[in-house]
Amino acid sequence: MPKITIQTTVNGRSVSKDVDPSLRLLDFLREELYLTGAKEGCGAGECGTCSVFVDGVLMKSCLMPAGKAQGTTIETVEGLAERNRLTVLQQAFHKTGASQCGYCIPGMVMAATSCLRGNPHASLDEIKEHLGGNICRCTGYSKIFEAVELARDVLNGSVPATALQEDAFKDSFLGANVRRLDAPSKVTGALKYAGDMTMPGMLHLQVLRSPHAHARIVSLDTSEAERMPGVEAVVTSADVPGVDGYGVFIHDQPVLARGKVRFVGDAVAAIAAETVAQARDALEKIKVVYEELPAVFDAEEAMKPGAPLVHEGNTDNICQHIPIRKGNIEDGFAKADVILEETFRTQRVEHAYLEPEAGLAYVEPDGTVTIHSPSQNITHHRHMLAHILAMPINKVRMIMSPVGGGFGGKEDMIYQGILALAAIKSRRPVRYVFTREESILVSAKRHPFVMRLRMGLTKDGRITATHMHSISDGGAYALSTPGVMRKHCILGAGPYEIDNVRIDAYGIYTNNTPSGAFRTFGAMQSLFATESMMDMAAEKLGLDPFEIRRINAMRDGAVTHTQQKLGSVSMLQVLDTLEKGSRWQPGVPNGRGATRDDLGGPGTRAPCTLGVRLRDTSDVAAE
Amino acid sequence: MLRCDDYYLPATLDEAFDLIERFPGEHRIIAGGTDLLPWAREGRAGDVHIPVLIDISRVAEMRGQKAQDGRIRLGANTTFAEFLKDPFLKRHLPVMAHAAIWFADDQLRAAATLAGNLVNGSPAGDGIPPMVAMEGSVVLESRKDGKRHTRTVPVADFIQGPGKTLLEPGELMTAIECDDMEGWGSAFEKVGHRRSLVISTCCVAALVKVDWATRRFADVRLAIGAVGPVPCRAKELEQSLIGQPVTAETIRSLSDRTAGFVRSRSRQEYRRKVLASFVERALGDALDELGIAPVSQPVHGEERLHA
Amino acid sequence: MYDDGRKKRGRGMAAGWYGIARTAAIDRAGAWAELDDGGTAKVVTGVTEIGEGILTVLAQIAAEEMGIRPEDVTIGDNDTARAPEAAHAGATRQTYMIGNAVALAAREARNRLVSVIAEKWQVPAESIQTRNGEMWAPGTNLRLTMEEAVAQCKGVGVVPVGSASFTADHTALDPVDGSGRPWQAYVFGAQVAEVEVDTATGEVQVLGIWAAHDVGRAINPRGVEGQIEGAVVMGVGQALMEDYQLDDQGRTTTPGFAKYILPTALDVPQVTSFIVEDPDPLSPLGAKGIGEPAMVQTAPAILNAIYDAIGVRITTLPATPERVLEALASKREKAA
């Protein structure tokens, strides 16, 4: 392999290395220097997890060929502070709770450092502009802004350094703002996520994925791939010794395609090789003959008789139907003075945790198969994997590596089985790190829903009946679809006591990207419909939005839509707190924005107009 | 994944041409690199093998900026970040700062060059409409049999279509020239789906000069991007403003004459609607930069939006 | 800036509720605890941090129960071969399920230690207090550091360990009418959104979110705020820009972060949180949860605010600039 010599200064140390010219600066830092603080969140300059200083200028190291770094001086997150110490900014992140999963944090710390180095008096709006290239999926940025403002004020001397100290402990640790114990490891880049881990003799896994949404695998020939340089193991479904299938509720997904692919991106075969590049080269030598099958891409179409079956053996494509029945909706609608009806639609949403899926698997000396991965459900994964591997459950060991964001998306065992098979077959440690594109392609999405909602109310605002009929595209495999339908239904009619409720949700198999668990598990969709309609009803009945919700709110001892009697219910307290806290001006929600007086007060930001630094006249004057 | 076998960092133009001659058909020129690496990924070009990368970002002759004869000459290695920071550039090319602040983010601006933006020829390239508006031209140099050849091509001609330019194999864009816009009011309007790292759905660059005695438009430049295969200048609209009084009515009157600029195949209706308001807003903001803020009357019909 | 009068503001609100821990299925979590040398502690449980801050919350809980400091607690976790089962990290169950399991295990370890010392001191065990690294019997001059207490306990041959299992007693839904007891703890919340809609571009900026949420009991208020803020911004993304799209052959047209649009630092509202505490009567801690519940209200609150601003009801998410302008245009057509 050709090499180029890179000479740089990294964190104050002179470095000279002969490296593959294909390396990016990010790879050079991570793989050659083991500086894994900079992460690869997207590889395309769109997320900022890889930000480092090059000659004092902040750069996205995933966009810089290592060759470009020739002769430069590089500073990474590991170089900001002395060992076991934190910079003022890092301390501020610790103080405010600015790190959650931590995966964006090294890049965020770098961007904030760059901002304050450039302007020690940067306004909040200027800070935001400088952080504009760094995505955070956990924090909502609020605590990060707070940290940067705090660090700015400490650094420019406008507040004392004592402001960085932990809040004093009072009577109890419960209710105290104890600083996050894991924050120092996150703000310094010291924490190792699965993709940062290495082991001696470690191989790299890559997966061949289906280009078709629905096809029969006529033949799969891996013989040429097996002979490619660096290849140590080729894995297909033929390597599964046990019962092949996984899923959160229904085990309908094989570790690798078994005779058929059901969505674009379905895993077909995998290769473990000495390098990622060798594994990718070998993937191209796998010969798959597909016979394309009729596919179905729409949930409602998939419900019709005669629609292509996504899972042969099933009688239809209905993965899960959940019914809720309380009272009698016909009676309820008969009592209504107004009846509203509307169809609501929600989209597929990507979890977009900044840490793409990654894992490291190996076989321990006693034969135990061990897998490190950012799995949200190691308990269930161990159960399933033991069946798949036909091994005693105590010989399968799942270790949850630091999770760089999950939101439900890392509950599915979409790659741990492949890793286990590769480690067993190759007898070597095997690591698999998804690219961002691979993560987006194959991980589950938030279920898209079409919801027909009908609500009847009396003149004085009391809901007499709610009828919701929901259809959701669950995609090619069940994953969490049964549970998502359930929660969608249980919570869908909202926090209101309603005598007559009918809700049905259908989760449907299609040949689309699978849908799965995602923060709120189907509830935000049904509540989007219900809460939109509450405002529509309020307008129609001439009621304030808080008022109509208060009229219907569950109270202590309320009976839920699943006929459960509750104890204490905080809904009214919450509504009162919010109405007061938001300075809400009561009124009918009829498009009164132009006439209301409660806009633009405390708690709002100015609209973003970009270019704060251009309007700042101080530097113009200095020119 | 981008793979290459060698990486060169020529320090002079001659060294760059030496390499171009040494690796004909096997090389690719790289400047900021912010387009090349994202391109070589799944969902776009996939795995790409380019034997030799020639990185021109350190070529001495391609650095720097200067004013000459009413024109500004920008070395091809001028980055977007420089338009935000450099006092000379902020004074002579004020519209570029407005465009640059909408371009990607701080970190990409620090690497990405205006020349790279032009060479890419994306319909949504943020640097192109301002250059079209400022009568920009590109300086293209090549070397044949040891002799340097230079030609200068207007930006409006240089970009032929999405990703298509007049750049010939072996040719390097070494500089960009455009009118000196010192004293003009300028603005850049852009909309996408968010406020940072945003790809343009529609953008407008506007520059205005006002006859202070009469409060009339003395000169106007308008260019529109992201709504057709190539960004274009709105000369008719410019002409119709010159000599007109600086009022909100004047600039609003252009809004029903902008639809024809929308030639992209997707999201046509949306782009037409946005463009109709953007021309007014861009001119208004450009005037505001000069300290003349025409007072806007309520937009027709809007006051009755509320039920 | 030139004001062309096309930017309109409005406010909207939405309410919501949520169930804590696994749905319509019995839930359980286990934990082990040991008061260790030096007055420190080991706590071991099966599943912890996914970024929400549960490690710190568990350390606070263990410290409170054991009378030591959070930084003295080492949490061994997340290993199916080395830690007791705690099920999974999701369903807004971490504080409720694992927090209570840790509280109970820590309490048992602490009580084992206290009973040994009580015998030495000849005082009733119930009278002994432990806090912040110290143990004492009120009304006496009997006082030890926890370090000394652990040493004395081990000196008589007792290792102060504890273990616990915590259960949430949920029932499955009836397959016909859906009746059942899916959760034992419920939370309620509501949010107000304030938006600016640019009727020239259809762009919506969310300028403020006020969020009131019942969490039972806030173990770490800052952590609760962090969950609310993160949930709100995820809600902003879903309401306005995020959209994973497929073509008619099931291939994604949003393969990377250039096409799949996430909120940046410039797209997020200021968030004001109000923490309401209605303690859970069925668990030792009284805490419930907040991870998921804070995101159900954001999208409808924003869409209701858009209606307030421009009189247009968007029923399909996300409310992209195109959708907003389309809806405005059809409203105008209908009015004309």
Q: What is the pLDDT of residues B17-75, one digit of tens each?
A: 999 999 999 999 999 999 999 999 999 999 999 999 999 999 999 999 999 999 999 99
Average pLDDT over residues A541-553: 98
CATH number at residue A40: 3.10.20.30
Residues A129 and A26 reside in one and the same domain:
no
Contact A65 B107 (CB under 8 A): no
- Average pLDDT over every residue of A291-311: 98
C196/C300 same-domain check: yes
- pLDDT value, residue A395: 98
**In what helix (H) or strand (E) does residue B50 lie, and over which residues does it extend?**
strand B48-55
Output the pLDDT for position B298.
Answer: 55
Q: Can you tell me the distance from the alpha carbon of A355 to that of A2, in angstroms, rounded to the nearest whole number?
A: 31
Tens of pLDDT along A78-95?
999 998 899 999 999 999
Least confident of B12-26, B275-289, B292-306: B292-306
Per the domain annotation, does A387 fall within a domain? Answer: no
Check residue A117 and give its pLDDT: 98
**Do C93 and C49 share a structural domain?**
yes
Q: At which of C113, C132, C166 does a domain end? A: C166
Instruction: For residues C33 and C80, state if they share a domain.
Output: yes
Inside any domain, residue C172: no
| Contact residues, chain B, for A539 at CB < 8 Å | 307
pLDDT at position B297, please?
Answer: 59
Q: How confident is the model at residue B293 (pLDDT cuts 50, 70, 90)?
A: confident
Question: Could you tell me if residue A66 is inside a domain?
Answer: yes
Among A191, A226, A257, where does a domain finish?
A191
Closest by alpha carbon to C89, among A174, A194, A403?
A403
Residue C178 falls inside a structural domain? no
Q: Looking at the structure, do residues C13 and C34 belong to the same domain, yes or no?
A: no
Residue A397 has pLDDT above 70, yes or no: yes
Query: In this complex, do A59 and B38 lie within 8 Å of one another by their Cβ atoms?
Result: no
Put simply, whether A503 touches C (Cβ < 8 Å) is: yes
pLDDT by position in tens, chain C (length 336): 899 999 999 999 999 999 999 999 999 999 999 999 999 999 999 999 999 999 999 999 999 999 999 999 999 999 999 999 999 999 999 999 999 999 999 999 999 999 999 999 999 999 999 999 999 999 999 999 999 999 999 999 999 999 999 999 999 999 999 999 999 999 999 999 999 999 999 999 999 999 999 999 999 999 999 999 999 999 999 999 999 999 999 999 999 999 999 999 999 999 999 999 999 999 999 999 999 999 999 999 999 999 999 999 999 999 999 999 999 999 999 998
Assess whether C313 and C219 both reside in one domain.
yes
Quote ipTM for the complex: 0.98
> Is C100 a member of any domain?
yes
- C292 has catalytic annotation: yes
What would the pLDDT profile of A415-462 be if each residue is shown by its tens digit?
999 999 999 999 999 999 999 999 999 999 999 999 999 999 999 999
- Within-domain flag for C47: yes
**CATH code of the domain in which A114 resides:** 1.10.150.120
Whether residues C252 and C149 share a domain: the answer is no
Whether the Cβ atoms of residue C261 and residue A127 lie closer than 8 Å to each other: no
Residues A326 and A455 in one domain: yes
Interface contact C254-A440, CB threshold 8 A: yes
Structural domain containing residue A49: 4-73
Question: Is C171 within a domain?
Answer: no
**Tens digit of pLDDT for each residue in C64-99?**
999 999 999 999 999 999 999 999 999 999 999 999
Q: Considering the candidates C148, C292, C322, C333, report the single residue annotated as catalytic.
A: C292
Find the CATH number of the domain harbouring A451: 3.30.365.10
In this structure, the answer to whether residues A144 and A9 fall within a common structural domain is no
> How far does the CA of residue B95 sit from the closest CA of chain A (Å)?
11
Last residue of a domain, one of C113, C137, C166: C166
Do C56 and C6 share a structural domain? no
Give me the pLDDT at residue B299, please. 54
What pLDDT, in 10s, does the model give residues A400-428? 999 999 999 999 999 999 999 999 999 99
Give A264's contacts in chain C (Cβ within 8 Å). Answer: 249-252
Residue A533 placed within a domain: yes
Q: Is residue C160 part of a domain?
A: yes
Q: What is the pLDDT of residues B70-111, one digit of tens each?
A: 999 999 999 999 999 999 999 999 999 999 999 999 999 999
User: Are residues C228 and C150 part of one domain?
Assistant: no
- Give chain C positions within 8 Å (CB) of A523: 16, 18, 292, 296
Q: Are C199 and C286 part of one and the same domain?
A: yes
Chain A residues within 8 A of C79 when measuring between CB atoms = 378, 397-400
Judgement on whether residues C125 and C147 belong to the same structural domain of the protein: yes
pLDDT tens digits along B125-159: 999 999 999 999 999 999 999 999 999 999 999 99
Question: Can you read off the two tokens belonging to residue B18?
Answer: 């030496």
Closest CB from C177, C190, C300 relative to A574: C190
> For C159-209, how does the pLDDT look when each residue is reduced to its tens digit (9 = 90+)?
999 999 999 999 999 999 999 999 999 999 999 999 999 999 999 999 999
Are both A502 and A539 inside the same structural domain? yes
Domain that holds residue C322: 2-20+183-335
In this prediction, residue B296 has a pLDDT band, given cuts at 50, 70 and 90, of: low
Q: Are residues C236 and C296 in the same domain?
A: yes
Question: Is C175 a domain residue?
Answer: no
pLDDT at res. A16: 98
C62: CATH: 3.30.365.10
Whether the predicted pLDDT of B262 surpasses 50:
yes
One domain for residues C10 and C72: no
* Residue C336: per-residue pLDDT: 84
Is C174 within the bounds of a domain? no
Q: How confident is the model at residue A623 (pLDDT cuts 50, 70, 90)?
A: very low
Alpha-carbon span A316 to A307, nearest angstrom: 8
A235 lies in some domain: no
Number of domains in chain A: 3
> Is the predicted pLDDT of residue B301 greater than 50, yes or no?
no
Domain boundary residue, one of C105, C140, C166? C166
Would you call the peptide bond into C318 cis, given omega within 30 degrees of 0 as the criterion?
A: yes
Average pLDDT, chain B: 94
